[in-house]
C-alpha cells in the first residue's frame, strides 16, 4: 500500500489559518471543530507572537500542524530554525531554498516532514519571466521536485496543475501538498488554481484551503462540504 492510500481521508484537508491574532485563531478552531484536523500556520500568524502557543494547543488537541514559513537563509540558520520547530512536534515545514538549504533542513528535521516549495501558486509564466527564470512553470516545478527527492525531502508544495507531471516524474515517492484550491470560480490573486476534485484526481495528497472556508458565511459548513467531497473521492 502506498503512502497516498495510508493518509486518513479526514486529514487530507489542510486549513490555512491566516489570521492576525490568537483570539481570532481560537475562535475559528472552535467553529470548525471536527471538520478540520490539519492546520497551516503561516507568516501572518507567526508575527502575532502566539505561534508556538497555538501550535502546542493544536497538537495537544490531537490536530496536525503545518508550519508554512518558507525558510530561506544561509544553511546553518535554516538548520537551526528547523531544529527549533522539530522540538515543537510540528508535522510539516516548508523550505523555499536551494540544495544546501534543503540539506540543512533535512539534517535537522527529526520526525518533521520537510516540504520543498516549487513555484508559488500566485505566480504565472509572466511572473517567472520577470524573476529571471528561463524555463516554463512545469519545468521549474519538476526540477525542484527532482532535487527535493534526491535530498531526502518528504514532499513538495505544488499547484495541482503540475502534479500529473510530477507523478510521472517521481511517482509516489514525494508527498504533494497543493495550495490554491478554489471550490468555486476564482477572483483573487491566486493564478494557478484547481477545484478539490481536480486536485486529487491529478494526484494531490493534501489540499490547502483558506479563504473559501474562512470567509464563508458558515465556515464549518464550508469545511464539512469539502470533507464530504474528499470522502467521496477516497471511499
Best CA proximity match to 72, nearest among 33, 112, 102, 47? 102
- What beta strand segments (E) does 21-111 contain? 38-41, 64-71, 92-95
Active site residue 70: yes
Which residues fall within 8 angstroms of residue 23, CB to CB, at 6 or more apart?
none
Q: Helix (H, G, I), strand (E, B), or coil: what is residue 74? A: coil
Of 70, 134, 228, 235, catalytic: 70
- DSSP string across 167-182: HHHHTTSSEEEE--B-
CA distance 115 to 53: 23
Rg, Å, the chain Cα set: 17
Cell 484551503 locates to 209
Q: If DSSP codes are grouped into helix, strand and coil, which group holds residue 162?
A: coil
Contact between residue 9 and residue 231 where contact means Cβ atoms under 8 Å apart: yes
Terminal alpha carbon distance of the chain:
15
Residues annotated as catalytic are 70
Amino acid at each position: 500500500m502506498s503512502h497516498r492510500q495510508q493518509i486518513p481521508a479526514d486529514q487530507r484537508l489542510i486549513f490555512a489559518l491566516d489570521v492576525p491574532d490568537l483570539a481570532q485563531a481560537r475562535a475559528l478552531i472552535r467553529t470548525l471543530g471536527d471538520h478540520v484536523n490539519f492546520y497551516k500556520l503561516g507568516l501572518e500568524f507567526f508575527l502575532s507572537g502566539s505561534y508556538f502557543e497555538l501550535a502546542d494547543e493544536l497538537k495537544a488537541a490531537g490536530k496536525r500542524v503545518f508550519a508554512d514559513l518558507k525558510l530561506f537563509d544561509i544553511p546553518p540558520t535554516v538548520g537551526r530554525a528547523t531544529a527549533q520547530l522539530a522540538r515543537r512536534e510540528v508535522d510539516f515545514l516548508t523550505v523555499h531554498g536551494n540544495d544546501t538549504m534543503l540539506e540543512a533542513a533535512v539534517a535537522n528535521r527529526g520526525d518533521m516532514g520537510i516540504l520543498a516549495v516549487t513555484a508559488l501558486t500566485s505566480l504565472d509564466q509572466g511572473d517567472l519571466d520577470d524573476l529571471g527564470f528561463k524555463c516554463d512553470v512545469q519545468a521549474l516545478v519538476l526540477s525542484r521536485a527532482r532535487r527535493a527527492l534526491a535530498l531526502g525531502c518528504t514532499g513538495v508544495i505544488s499547484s495541482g496543475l503540475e502534479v500529473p507531471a510530477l507523478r510521472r516524474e517521481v511517482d509516489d515517492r514525494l508527498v504533494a501538498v497543493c495550495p490554491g484550491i478554489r471550490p468555486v470560480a476564482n477572483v483573487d490573486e491566486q493564478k494557478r488554481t484547481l477545484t478539490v476534485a481536480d486536485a486529487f484526481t491529478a494526484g494531490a495528497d493534501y489540499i490547502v484551503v483558506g479563504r473559501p472556508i474562512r470567509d464563508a458565511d458558515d465556515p464549518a459548513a464550508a469545511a464539512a462540504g469539502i470533507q464530504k467531497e474528499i470522502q467521496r473521492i477516497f471511499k
